[in-house]
Amino acid sequence: MGSRFEKYAKDIVFTVDGQELRLKRVKTEKLQKLMNLTKDEENMLVNLVEYFSDIVASNYPEESREGVDAFVQSNVMTIFEEFQIAYGLIKRADLEKRKAELLEKASK
């Protein structure tokens, strides 16, 4: 009989700009690193691009690094959101609610 938690060992899969990304699960240390780098609001965008470019590049070694960097740069916030959802760190409904609240706050 398989492990009770087997389904949580599978790759994480999500779609960004019509491209399906299939990523091997990262270690908890790497997730902690993601949490830490979001503390640095000033450099967050640069840090996120670097973080996700590394992950995508290591999962797609046949793609050129320039191509991966450009793809991540263009879609970094979507990748960040979908990554968190795929890991179960946040629910899509909660994220949508927060985004709506942020938009409302910004429009005031």
Partner 1 sequence: MNKIDKFRGLLEVSIAEDTLLLNSLKVNDLFDLLLLNKTEDSFEFGVKLLYRILSKSYPDDVLGLEGFIISNYVDLLEGIMIALGWTSKKKLEDMKKEKDKPKEIKRGLEALKARAALEADTDNIEDKYITTCYVLMREFKYTRDEILNMDATVFLVLIDEMNKQAEKEKEEMAKVKKH
Name the site residues for partner 1 (rule: CB under 8 A): 2-10, 25, 28-29, 31-32, 34-36, 38, 81, 84, 87-90, 94-95, 98, 101-102, 104-105
73: which residues sit within 8 A by CB, 6+ positions away?
49, 53
CA–CA gap between residue 61 and residue 82 (Å, rounded): 21
Closest residue by Cα to residue 60 from 68, 72, 51: 68
Smallest separation (angstroms) from partner 1 to the CB of 54:
18
DSSP bridge partners of 16: 19
Smallest separation (angstroms) from partner 1 to the CB of 72:
18
Nearer to partner 1, 12 or 57 (CB): 12
With residues binned 3-state (H G I as helix, E B as strand, rest as coil), the percentages for the chain, rounded to 5, are: 65, 10, 25
Nearer to partner 1, 14 or 87 (CB): 87
Smallest separation (angstroms) from partner 1 to the CB of 75:
17
Q: Are 25 and 38 in contact (CB under 8 A)?
A: no
Smallest separation (angstroms) from partner 1 to the CB of 107:
13
Nearer to partner 1, 34 or 49 (CB): 34
Nearer to partner 1, 20 or 28 (CB): 28
Token match 């779609």: residue? 15
